[in-house]
Amino acid sequence: MTVSTDRSRTGNRTEAEAPGLGIRLLPILDRYGILLVILVMGLVLYALQPDVFFSWRNITNIFKQTAVNSMLAIGMFLVILTAGIDLSVGSVLALGMMSLAVANAAGWAWPIVLLLGPAVGLATGFVNGVGITKLRMPHPFIMTLGMLFMARGLANLISGGVPYTGLPDAVRFLGSAQIELGELDGTRLNLPVGLIVTIVVYLIFWVFLEHSVLGRRIYAIGGNPQAARVSGINVDRVLIFVYSLCGLMAGFAGLMMAGRTNSGFPNAGIGAELEAIAAVIIGGASFFGGRGTVLGVFGGVIIMGLISNTLNLNNVSVFWQQILIGLIIVVAVFLDVVRRGIGTRR
Amino acid sequence: MTQAQEEAGSGNYLLEARGITKHFGAVTALRGVDFHVGRGEVLGVVGDNGAGKSTLMKILSGLFAPSRGALIFDGRPIRFQSPHDARDLGIEMVYQDLALAENINIAENIFLGREPVRRLLGGWLPLVDHKAGRDHARQHLDNLHIHVKSVEQRVGELSGGQRQAVAIARATAFDAKLVIMDEPTAALAIKEVGKVLDLIKGLKDRGIGVVLISHRMDDIFYVCDRVMALFHGANFAEAALCDTSRSEVIGWIMGTKEGQGELAHDRVH
Ligand SMILES: Nc1ncnc2c1ncn2[C@@H]1O[C@H](COP(=O)(O)OP(=O)(O)O)[C@@H](O)[C@H]1O
Ligand SMILES: [Mg+2]
């Protein structure tokens, strides 16, 4: 066995024409280029705001502000990998958030309140998945657009359209707690739990997508659902799982936002689905499915966070933020088109 | 010859289909088709476009359920819920449109749906064994004399012939008993056709049965033991290769049989 492997290796070498440096660098850039972009952005921002930007406080702030989008974007990424879309995550966030706030006001025990947000998200995601596969909706756009309205309506219905404030600390823990690390030069170093949650969730998703059977099948389905089907993979079941997981993450985002704001408000997360989609696309995932990485999505989330952070620091209006994010989406996809033009042989 | 085989009984066939009918809404793609293939036999299937060849093969490989009719594998009646069931019995299909995922690599395509797994944390965490997949893929491709730069190449980067070879490798990676190939040479450059045909001969040498759909008489007469023709969704003719000729088989495709067929054909013009 070793012999045959070695033989094939040498055979490979003779057949391969020596590629240029640029071609050999491409896969590495492809994979880690987004870190380079973030590094450059960080340096530029540092140059603009030397005393504020690299402060512990500002860095943790960025992560606190991006925690919700991180959760939505990683779920959205899974869906986009299958060449689908989930427009309902912003509304599902609100529904999860309102459910737990209302349950809390009704005097339910905190463990149930805590689990209710993610559970409601999971349930709506499951409904999306079943609708898309079993009701054979022509496109996930339709089913999740319907859910966008239904979940928002439900969030308003159960709360009477008014915010609920005041949650127990245990429920707020993931979204707002800080771990004290000590002091440095007179400033306290606090690590937001939300940052740890984000990192742990992304690590789990990374292992799941790169190394689990189901994760690899999600990529295959995104590349060619027919190929997956004829390989004996139950594509519908995988899709239901994917939409359920996306819903779960939206509900989880609702829990995080409830924790951060110590409340539930039925208008939460309006337009959040678009920010999640933007982060996924900026992170280099293909809208047509099958391509993208967890690291890329993380990068996309951070880039969006950096933009709003800097512009906030510099008192630039939110309108410019929108224009800039729009520009970055277009430029990111354009660069991707150019890069793929070089990378693929025709 | 055909009669003798029928008398021998269905137990001699690897896979048999009786009276297969398939409707797609108002369209009837197959009407009462009988089919059989033996162990290690290479059967050619010919017929005009729309004759029902692909539909029959998709039924044999478990992708479609027949509207009517029975399948018999190794003498036992069977019913497939999905291609998964057929693959479990060793029936593999190489689809006309190849059915490879271009975004993942060669090794992962070969093991798609049957990923090698290693269990971590005392069995609680089953993860894909990427290294085993690559090693097995490399070895399997070597055995089939298929050469690629690396099994980690994405399938989207391969030529048509290489893709066909990967699709065949995929079909034979888990001791297949029967490999069904739907026009494997149709989209290939001439010099790649020979390689694929030799690959088919290699499968026969290993005792694997092959069903080959092709429009090219060169393919049929190079590798097949027997040839059958479908016409308008029904059985039209069949013969051992040594008992027929290219012109006769071409006639079958057009719906004419030796003798009176030629006359009918002449009358039309
Ligand atoms: N999925 C399908 N839905 C509807 N009609 C189909 C489908 N597949 C095949 N057909 C019809 O069945 C007939 C036989 O097609 P097919 O088996 O693809 O023929 P062949 O492979 O011999 O060219 C054609 O009339 C075709 O239009
Ligand atoms: Mg066909």
Average the pLDDT over A258-272 and give the result: 95
pLDDT over threshold 60, residue B238: yes
Residue B260 pLDDT grade (very low, low, confident, very high; cuts 50, 70, 90): low
Q: Locate the chain A residue with the closest alpha carbon to B130.
A: A211
Using CB distances shorter than 6 Å, the residues near ligand 1 are: B 24, 27, 29, 47, 49-55
Q: pLDDT, tens digit, for every residue of B20-32? A: 999 999 999 999 9
Nearest to A212 among B98, B100, B128 (CB): B128
DSSP A18: P
Instruction: With cut-offs at 50, 70 and 90, classify the pLDDT of residue B35.
Output: very high
* Ligand 1 pocket: which of B20, B22, B24, B228 to mutate (most atoms within 8 A of CB): B24
Contact B99 A227 (CB under 8 A): yes
Q: Which of residues 270-329 of A touch B (CB under 8 A)?
A: 289-291
Calculate the average pLDDT of chain A. Answer: 88
Give the mean pLDDT of B79-106. Answer: 90
Give mean pLDDT, residues A197-205: 97
* Residue identifier of the C-alpha nearest atom 1 of ligand 1: B24
- For residues B139 and B152, the answer to whether their CB atoms sit within 8 Å is no
> What atom in ligand 1 is closest to the CA of residue B51?
22
pLDDT band at B124 (very low <50, low <70, confident <90, very high): confident
Q: Calculate mean pLDDT across residues B104-129.
A: 92
More confident residue, A13 or A139: A139
* Whether the predicted pLDDT of A344 surpasses 80: no
Find out whether A155 and A270 touch, Cβ atoms under 8 Å.
no
Q: What is the pLDDT of residue B6?
A: 45
Ligand 1: residue of B20, B22, B23, B27 to mutate (most ligand atoms within 8 A of CB) is B27
- What are B93's strand-pairing partners? B180
Q: Atom 26, ligand 1: which residue's CA is nearest?
A: B50
pLDDT score at A324: 84
Confidence of residue B44 (pLDDT cuts 50, 70, 90): very high
ipTM for the assembly: 0.84
> What is the number of structural domains in chain B?
1
Residue B219 is assigned to a structural domain of this protein: yes
Q: Does B264 contact chain A (CB < 8 Å)?
A: no
**Residue B110 pLDDT > 90, yes or no?**
yes
Output the CA angle A41-A42-A45, nearest 5 degrees: 85
Q: Distance (Å) from the C-alpha of residue A156 to the closest C-alpha of chain B?
A: 41
Compute the nearest-CA separation of A291 from chain B (Å): 7
Using a pLDDT cut of 90, give the percent of chain B over it.
69
* Interchain CB contact of A330 with B (< 8 Å): no
Q: Tell me the pLDDT tens digit for each residue of B165-188.
A: 899 899 888 889 999 999 988 878
pLDDT at position A23, please? 65
Lowest mean pLDDT among A20-34, A132-146, A155-169, B129-143: A20-34
Give burial (CB, 10 Å; 0-12/13-18/19+) of B268.
exposed
Q: Which residue range is the domain that position B248 belongs to?
A: 3-97+176-253
| C-alpha torsion sign, points A302, A305, A307, A313 | negative
Q: Do B108 and A220 touch (CB under 8 A)?
A: yes
Residue B239 within any structural domain of the chain:
yes
Percent of chain A's residues with pLDDT above 90: 62
Distance from CA of B82 to the nearest CA of A (A): 7
B87 touches chain A (CB under 8 A): yes
User: What is the spatial distance between Cα A319 and Cα A334, in angstroms, rounded to a whole number?
Assistant: 23
Residues of A8-45 as b/e, b for ≥16 C-beta within 10 angstroms? beeebeeeeeeeeeeeeebeeebeebbeebbeeebeeb
Answer whether A345 sits within 8 Å of B157, measured CB to CB.
yes
Q: What pLDDT band is residue A205 in, cutting at 50, 70 and 90? A: very high
Give the domain CATH number at B181.
3.40.50.300
Q: Is residue B248 part of a domain?
A: yes
Nearest residue, CB atoms, A1 vs list B109, B112, B139: B139
Cβ-based contacts of A341 with chain B (< 8 Å): none
pLDDT category, A16, cuts 50, 70, 90? very low
Determine the pLDDT at residue B7.
Answer: 41
| B contacts of A234 (beta carbons < 8 Å) | 82
DSSP-assigned states of every residue in B213-258: E-S-HHHHHHH-SEEEEEETTEEEEEEEGGG--HHHHHHHHHT--T
Residue B191 falls within a domain, yes or no? Answer: yes
- Considering only alpha carbons, which residue of chain A is nearest residue B96? A227
Q: Which atom of ligand 1 is nearest to the CA of B47?
A: 22
Average pLDDT, chain B: 88
Question: In chain A, where are the structural domains located?
Answer: 67-270
Q: What is the mean pLDDT of residues A21-50?
A: 78
Say if B93 is an interface residue toward chain A (CB within 8 Å).
yes
Tell me, yes or no, whether B136 lies in a domain.
no
Q: Which residue has its alpha carbon closest to ligand 1 atom 11?
A: B29
Q: Is residue B81 included in any domain, yes or no?
A: yes
> What is the predicted pLDDT for the residue at A6?
36
Q: Which atom of ligand 1 is nearest to the CA of B96?
A: 21
Interatomic CA distance for residues A127 and B106, integer angstroms: 35
- Reading the block at residue B128, the tokens are 């894909």
User: Is the model's pLDDT at A40 over the cut of 70?
Assistant: yes
Q: Which pLDDT band holds residue A277 (cuts at 50, 70, 90)?
A: very high
Output the six-digit token pair for A192: 């937001």
Is residue B190 over pLDDT 90? Answer: no
pTM score: 0.86
B39: in domain: yes
* Helix/strand/coil for A129: helix
| Residue B228 located in a structural domain | yes
- The pLDDT assigned to B144 comes to 86
User: Is A184 within 8 Å of chain B by CB?
Assistant: no
The sign one gets for the Cα dihedral A296, A128, A228, A233 is positive
